[in-house]
Amino acid sequence: MTTDTGADTGADPRLDDAILATEGIDEETVEAVGKLSEAFETLEVARGHLYQFHRMSGTADFQVGEAADLLRKAGHVEFADRIEQQLVGRNILPGRWTFQMVEEYDDGYYSTFREFDREALSLTNGLRHLHEAGLKRRRRSPGEIGHADAPAPQD
């Protein structure tokens, strides 16, 4: 017989259909809020890529400056001067460096999306990840090692 140290304690209300019914949270709402949450998670990944783009573009700009210095030392002064004048510090978009892109994204689309994601929690009485909790409820094997509904209590 296999057991799990944290098996079926009922500690996570999101895993209990009766509690969700008592809370008045229907499956359609769980699905809809879950889809919005999934979209926000996708947006978080996109935001991470934007920050990575910001960091990589800045790093490349400094590397180009170093390359221009090395070209100058190697006797390619005119080429190095053109690189410094036309490429080092150049805007990524008209009038914008990447930090400005990040700020506009964060202050506009991202913050608006985040507010809707937070507001959606009012539809689930503040309970997050109900869709995933439903998946866990349906996919786990109660009593099996590694299938506990919640972590074991800590002493």
User: Above pLDDT 90, what percent of the chain?
Assistant: 61
How far apart are the C-alpha atoms of 127 and 65, rounded to whole Å?
Answer: 51
User: Residues 15-40: what's their mean pLDDT?
Assistant: 84
Instruction: Pick the more confident residue, 155 or 52.
Output: 52
User: Residues 95-106: what's their mean pLDDT?
Assistant: 97
Residue 96 phi, psi dihedral angles, 5° rounding: -130, 135
User: Residues 71-86: what's their mean pLDDT?
Assistant: 98
Mean pLDDT across the chain: 88
Instruction: Pick the more confident residue, 131 or 112.
Output: 112
Domain locations in the chain as residue ranges: 13-139
